[in-house]
Amino acid sequence: MTKLEELDEKLKSYHPTEKEFEHARIAGEQRAAFVAKFPIADLDSLTPESYCIGHGDKENFCWWIERGTNGMSSYFPGSSRSYGMFWEKDTNSYQMIMALKRYKDLHPDADNGTILHEVIAKPLKALVEAHGQQGTFDSINCVGKSFLLKILILYYPDEFLQVNSTHWIDTIIDGYGLEKPESYVDRNKVLRKFYEDKKKLVQGGELTQQAFVGVIARQLGIVRPRFWHMQLHPGSDSQFSQEDVLKILKQYGVVGMGEAWENDRGQPKQFAEDMHEGDVIGIREKGFVALVRVTGPCRKNDQKDELNWFDIVRSIEILSTDATEYIEKYKTETGKGPHEHLFPSTTLSEIKSRCKNKFLSFWYRSVMGLDPIDEDGQQHDDNSPNESQGTSSQQFYTKADFLNEVYVSAGTFDEMMSLLKKKNNLILTGAPGVGKTFAARRLAWAMMGERDDERVEFVQFHQSYGYEDFICGYKPSSDGGFELREGVFYTFCKKAENDPDKDYFFIIDEINRGNISKIFGELLMLIEADKRGDRAYAVRLAYKQDERFTVPKNLYIIGLMNTADRSLAMMDYALRRRFSFISMEPGFDSVGFAALVSGDDKMKRLVEAVKKLNEVIVADASLGKGFVIGHSFFCGRLSPEEIVCYDIGPTLDEYWFDNPTKAEEERTKLLNAIR
């Protein structure tokens, strides 16, 4: 079967997801905002301020190309030099590449605005007005071709396919034997026609450009596969042996999971929507059993008689069952073990590229005859070593994603976002189990518009936590002395300061457990929104007297506060006025939680009983609304009886420690509700 025939078969069986259409809608909104902000008629009026990235704002043309429109196609250059001219914070000046410096040499009196106009802005307007034709595309040599293609894609979405990498364009054309014109503008249009023809094969004829590009990129091997760890379970109360797992893989050629197992991590949703054909899975059962590659889309299990524990399945091919052999090779090649303790205990988990455990990649590359240690795999355009891929590989994260995972109302989400943007500092309060920690990270993702944990830092305060841990201080060194070490907040502030065009989020769990004055020290003033990044308020740190320090504007602090811990003191008033507060309530009435317990009548009865229990807790003068039972008690894989006996019951014993009869009375009510 040829590549084209393989593609046709994939598209005929392809099932688009709501998530794909949601991403396409967001991309369209991004594009509309960009075109409204930078109309074609005004392109030759771009100034260094409105064009250059590096100022730390989101108003410039280059920021919109890189970040503001990342849903249309990706352009993430490794250096700001790829834009020709950029603002350099260290020198507090505009910098330019050699092509612009040559113009300066020929026109010594030209200022930065004139240079930008003549070398970049005016040619860009001519390019866009001519739709990339009449030699306008190849005449611009101070920026990369991917940058120019991204601009044309934004202004003419009906003419171009959302792929701006020249490497990707050539690989796709060569891979399918398509017509290959001389200009990359025309090559992209060939791909656009290819897309229009092929999407008709999909049931209903609806297929987003990003989904189409993802299918062909995985088929042609343009992108590295994503790696997953997975366990196969026959049910919540039992497990397979390694022999059972191998039998399923070999006899049925599928992996699967039960939809009823969905917990607060949404693993069946990951299996259905985030996993793709070509992804590689390490199947585990008390150690690795097999390495498999996904070969088909997610589908309902049509073999219920034989595989009645799986609701949804994916077809796979077995790549290797010799885990022990490759573990030994991995130890020999790297000097490291496969770090079994790093493996998640969850049924399904994606192994991110930043994970220190590289064994799955090593195993895969060894089996496929590739260099097992070469994990770079990054494809770049020939015309610019810093230009990256042409289609977005990042994971978008939207309001809809947040509301699907976090059991709060849309109004509460809007309030969280608004307060965080205005104040820079927000504290989520609530009783144990209302999902504060879970919500905080997703709130950060929602504000970014993508899942990017590289821009999220997480710490937990406690009574021994101090300034030396948070900002900087002297710590024992290996030679028996002391050395000055920078703390987690100081380091993260510097990271955000050096990347001013992106938002960073610092999450503090149990913020009211720490001694705030001891931890923040002289920085308490600097976290106020109106003093962020303002050199007039910069302070000299206790252990860094030669440095004047500020907290950057693009860093947001999210604190988490447990309202049910009797041992905690009142919140420091100096810190309180610098934060806005939102109280999180149990999400039993949210749409997402209703979906979680749907189909389980016993669990529904327990939920109703807990609602009545919460009314009793709120009415108790010694407790109150800060002690209610949250929805997180229901988000694991425990049965209703286990939830009452081992989770909620002990909590009630703690609440009514001075009235054990009351605790037992309320526990009995819960058990009666599920009998």
> Closest by alpha carbon to 511, among 454, 583, 587, 575?
575
* Domain boundary assignment for the chain: 3-220, 227-367, 399-583, 591-673
**pLDDT in the model for residue 260:** 52
What are the residues whose beta carbons fall under 8 Å from the beta carbon of 118, sequence distance 6 or more?
Answer: 103, 110
Are β-strands 544-549 and 482-486 bridged in parallel, bridged antiparallel, or unpaired? unpaired
Buried b (16+ CB within 10 A) or exposed e, 296-313: ebbeebeeeeebebbbbb
Count of CA atoms in the C-beta half-sphere (13 A) of 383 = 20
d(CA 454, CA 451): 9
**pLDDT in the model for residue 235:** 57
Q: Do domains 227-367 and 399-583 have the same CATH topology?
A: no
* pTM, rounded to two decimals: 0.60
Mean pLDDT by 10 residues, the chain (675 residues): 90 87 91 96 96 87 92 79 86 86 90 95 96 88 90 97 91 92 94 96 92 88 80 66 87 82 61 84 87 86 77 90 84 65 64 66 77 42 37 60 85 93 93 90 90 90 91 86 90 90 92 87 88 87 86 94 64 79 90 77 92 94 90 84 92 92 94 92
**pLDDT in the model for residue 392:** 39
Q: Which amino acid is at 257?
A: M
The alpha helices in 319-409, defined as continuous H runs, are: 323-334, 359-367, 399-405
CB 451 within 8 A of CB 394: yes
The residue ranges of DSSP E strands in 13-150, in sequence order, are: 85-88, 93-96
Q: Which two tokens stand for residue 394?
A: 């990042």
Q: Which value, to the nearest 10 degrees, does the dihedral of the CA atoms of residues 196, 6, 292, 261 take?
A: 50
For residue 403, CA distances in Å to 10, 17, 561 come to 32, 17, 21
3-class DSSP assignment, residue 172: helix
d(CA 126, CA 43): 9
Q: Which two tokens stand for residue 495?
A: 């990271």
Count of CA atoms in the C-beta half-sphere (13 A) of 326 = 25
Q: Which two tokens stand for residue 258?
A: 């039960």
**pLDDT in the model for residue 457:** 94
Provide the CATH number for the domain formed by 399-583 in this structure.
3.40.50.300
To the question of domain 227-367 being in CATH 3.10.590, the answer is yes
Q: Which amino acid is at 298?
A: C
CB 276 within 8 A of CB 294: yes
**Residue 549 phi, psi dihedral angles, 5° rounding:** -110, 140
**pLDDT in the model for residue 590:** 83
**pLDDT in the model for residue 264:** 40
